């Protein structure tokens, strides 16, 4: 998801700062708007991670706001929501759709979207991995989001690897 960030990127949720740190450092990212509902999270980043000394920090604008309500004042190239406690929260898809309705980014990729795609594949009775580009594009069209990597078979291979991890198997069973 970090690789997909470009131009003006909006990050919903500071989390532990990993995505923010890496996106700020990308030369192809010209502006980062971080939307964080809790000001204390920003203070923790400043104290614990020397936040103000990061490469690219001059590109950062912080908005203290609810990610579900935020509307930018300028066009957005990439949206990366990361507001959920666990990687495969069931509401992540609908909340991302709501955020994109307000943001209207050129591309979207959210933390855990791969789990949602794998669940969709299972619901389609797909039993063979890796998935195809046609399957991914169909899902992208169904959910109405301009998702990252629509033409990249390597991304689909990563999803097949994810389905074989202990984490995935523990919570979702065998693919």
29 neighbors 49 (Cβ within 8 angstroms)? no
Query: Quick check: 67 pLDDT over 90?
Result: yes
pLDDT in tens, 152-173: 999 999 999 999 998 888 878 8
First to last CA, the chain: 23
Longest distance between any two alpha carbons in the chain, whole Å: 49
Mean pLDDT on 104-112: 96
Q: How far apart are CA 153 and CA 129, in angstroms?
A: 12
List C-alpha distances in Å: 169 to 113, 118, 136, 172, 173.
Answer: 16, 12, 21, 5, 4
- Name the region of 173 (left: φ>0; alpha: ψ -120 to 50; beta: rest): left
Query: Quick check: 137 pLDDT over 90?
Result: yes
Residue 87's pLDDT band (cuts 50, 70, 90): confident
Q: Cα-atom radius of gyration of the chain, to the nearest Å? A: 16
List C-alpha distances in Å: 65 to 39, 123, 133, 170.
Answer: 9, 35, 36, 34
Q: How far apart are CA 61 and CA 68, in angstroms?
A: 18
Phi, psi (rounded to 5 degrees) for 41:
-65, -40
pLDDT in tens, 9-54: 999 999 889 999 999 999 999 999 999 999 999 999 999 999 899 9
């Amino acid at each position: 998801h970090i690789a997909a960030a470009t131009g003006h990127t909006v990050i919903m949720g500071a989390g532990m700062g990993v995505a923010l740190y890496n996106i700020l450092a990308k030369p192809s990212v010209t502006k980062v708007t971080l939307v964080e509902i809790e000001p204390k999270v920003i203070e923790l980043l400043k104290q614990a991670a020397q936040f103000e000394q990061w490469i690219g920090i001059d590109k950062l604008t912080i908005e203290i706001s609810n990610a579900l309500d935020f509307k930018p004042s300028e066009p957005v190239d990439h949206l990366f929501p990361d507001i959920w406690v666990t990687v495969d929260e069931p509401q992540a898809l609908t909340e991302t759709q709501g955020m994109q309705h307000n943001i209207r980014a050129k591309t979207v990729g959210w933390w855990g979207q791969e789990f949602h795609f794998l669940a969709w594949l299972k619901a389609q009775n797909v039993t063979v991995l890796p998935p195809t580009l046609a399957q991914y594009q169909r899902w992208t069209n169904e959910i109405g989001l301009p998702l990252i990597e629509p033409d990249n078979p390597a991304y689909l291979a990563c999803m097949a690897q994810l389905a074989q991890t202990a984490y995935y198997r523990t919570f979702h069973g065998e693919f």
